[in-house]
Structure 1
């Protein structure tokens, strides 16, 4: 952009000299270098913190689906990459052993309640002990708790979508045996109820960024288009700033100014949901500083959006 502005100045200077409006003396011969210096110091260098830009990446939360009970899969009605609503069935586990457990506990509970009634009747007739009644009451409460847990297990044989989203890279099939171990997820569920848009901003340019400032993003997935948003927050930590407990003394670290991450919220939520997770692009943040540079940054961003038609990187 600075080359374009300098070339415009040179054209204007050439026309003024050609039309003999000005004389081409030493000052006007040196003027292009002065204009270049003014553009750098007065506009393009301050644009780095007045309208900073950086790479943007769209992400979504991924939920590793691990069933709460183990068993054989008898049905997988879900289709990969198909929109789902919260509560839709992902797959079903054979409920037979869990139904049998519920039936056994219900029978035991019925018998225990009958024995409790009998013991209570004997106590009221002064033919039984209070201890026997209390023991039967304890048995009934234990069986009720076990039955509640067994019904919960039976309900968990139907695994449902935890939120709005879709299943991707689906390999689970009928007949597979699944476990409830946290290290053995059976499918990946992508939550589309919320969208995460992060922008990397160099530390030198991040000092004036605040929530609520306007943001424009040009995505590779949408060449020629500019999406608008607002700064939601500037994340207060990056990995290089973490300190973890260890048994070692402090050691020297290779310190580097790692970019900060700015989280952005789309003005149009539907536009954000339409983008695939992993969509990359470039974002520009417009602060209250150096307002004259905002127009230059917008032009540069739109140039990049047009170049996205032909440039894959």
Structure 2
């Protein structure tokens, strides 16, 4: 550009000399050099940071298609470089193993639900067993209380029989004394009858009296023997009642210490198994349902679909090839059409003047004679020279001979009726100029230079 302006200056100077407006002396002969120096100092040097310019590149993301499941490819409907809509089928993997797994888990889910019903029935049965055991304990306690009462009643009957025996023995003793006395009286009366001192009637009365006493004595002795029998039976009843009471007490103790503890533990375990819940579902059902969801997801993933609108590049996948869910191996490359990044590289000394929102003009080799307007979207404050790669080695020390790598500036192209920004091919190159807030007078020079370049693209397209 500076040469072009100098040539223009020389042409004007030659015209003025031709029409004798100025003389062709040494000053005017040297003035083109002075003109170039002034242009360099006043315009072109300030233009480098007031309107920085640099090469432009169009970037497109390439999605590495790796399936989420492994298997044999049975169909590849997608064709290389053909436009595909989001969700279109790229390729299919044999779904039979995954369908079988999903069917198996579907059946297992139904079986698990039935098992949950059985667990709940077992829990109810165990709870009923606890209630029955508690009822048995109450019955055993009642039996124990009745046995204790029977023991007390048998003991009372034994004591009463012993008392009756003592009374009968006392009666026998008393009657024995009376019979002995009556016998002596009867013997005396008999001895006096022959002498006539005692009448026959007195003798008969005495005989009747002794006979009555002997009868009473025999009855009393019978009562003593009956009392002995009653005492024996009462003792046996006490022994039997004690045995029953001991058995009832042992049964109550057994129910409390063994059966009740066991059935309560079984009921607790059955309740835990039946009521192991997550939300409204049993944990076993949730576990199988999650496995079924994973199996159904894997089954769906046997059909690999386009992640967005775009096209496939480097198509080499064919039916019969086995693919794996291995992230370091790409089976297909997919290019989204709506993911376009336009960036310009600018020298590092101009970065301080570049800010988001500044106006930009862009020309592409692809579209000679066209100038596109754009805006600075963001500044990429790192380049490949400033990246530290994860490594066990010490980073390389900067050297005095290292090159100055430009920084990237991401651009947002303005809407254009003729060209869809998303249609720009990846790898398209050109030049962009950023119009900063500095050295505004130099912007016109940069605009002219940019337009000269886009027209030169017709002549020099490489």
Whether 1:243 aligns to 2:384 is: no
Between stretches 229-238 and 3-12, larger displacement belongs to 3-12
Q: Secondary structure at the match of 1:15?
A: helix
Q: 1:86-97 counterparts in 2 under 5 A?
A: 86-97=86-97
Q: Give matches, 1:5-16, under 5 Å.
A: 5-16=5-16
Partner of 1:268: 415
Quote the residue 2:430 is aligned against. 281
The answer for the alignment partner of 2:450 in structure 1 is 301
1:1-313 residue pairs with structure 2 within 5 A?
1-125=1-125, 126=128, 129-134=270-275, 137-244=282-389, 246-248=391-393, 252-254=397-399, 255-268=402-415, 271-313=420-462
CA deviation profile, 1:141-166 (whole Å, cap 9, x unmatched): 22111111111111111111112221
Cα gap change, 1:83 to 1:253, in 2 (>3 Å): same
- Does the 8 Å CA contact 2:337/2:423 hold for their aligned counterparts? no
Stretches of structure 2 lacking an aligned partner (at least 5 in a row)? 130-266
Partner residue in 1 for 2:162: none
Aligned partner of residue 226 in structure 1, secondary structure: strand
Greater helix proportion? 2
* 1:10 CA displacement: 1.6
Q: Which residue of 1 aligns with 2:260?
A: none
CA distance in 1, matches of 2:272, 2:37: 97
Q: Secondary structure at the match of 2:437?
A: coil
Instruction: For residue 71 of structure 1, report the CA deviation from its aligned partner.
Output: 0.9
**2: CA distance between counterparts of 1:274 and 1:224?**
18
Q: Give the RMSD, CA atoms, in angstroms.
A: 2.1
For 1:291 and 1:282, the matched residues in 2 are separated by 20
3-state SS of paired residue (2:72): strand
Question: Secondary structure at the residue paired with 2:295?
Answer: helix
Deviations along 1:233-261, one digit per CA (max 9) or x if unpaired, are 11011121233565555653233321111
Q: Given the two structures, how large is their TM-score scaled by the length of structure 2?
A: 0.64
TM-score (norm 1): 0.92
Shift of residue 312 of structure 1?
Answer: 4.0
Corresponding residue SS for 2:58: strand
Aligned residues of 2:340 and 2:424 also touching (Cα < 8 A):
no
Q: 1:82 to 1:245 in 2, by over 3 A?
A: closer
- Please tell me whether Structure 1 or Structure 2 has the larger radius of gyration of its CA atoms: 2
When structure 1 is superposed on structure 2, of 155-164 and 116-125 the one drifting more is 116-125
1:177-222 per-position Cα deviation (integer Å, ceiling 9, x unaligned):
1110111211001122221111111112332111111212221222
SS at match of 1:230: strand
Identify the range of structure 1 (138-147 vs 64-73) with the bigger mean alpha-carbon deviation: 138-147
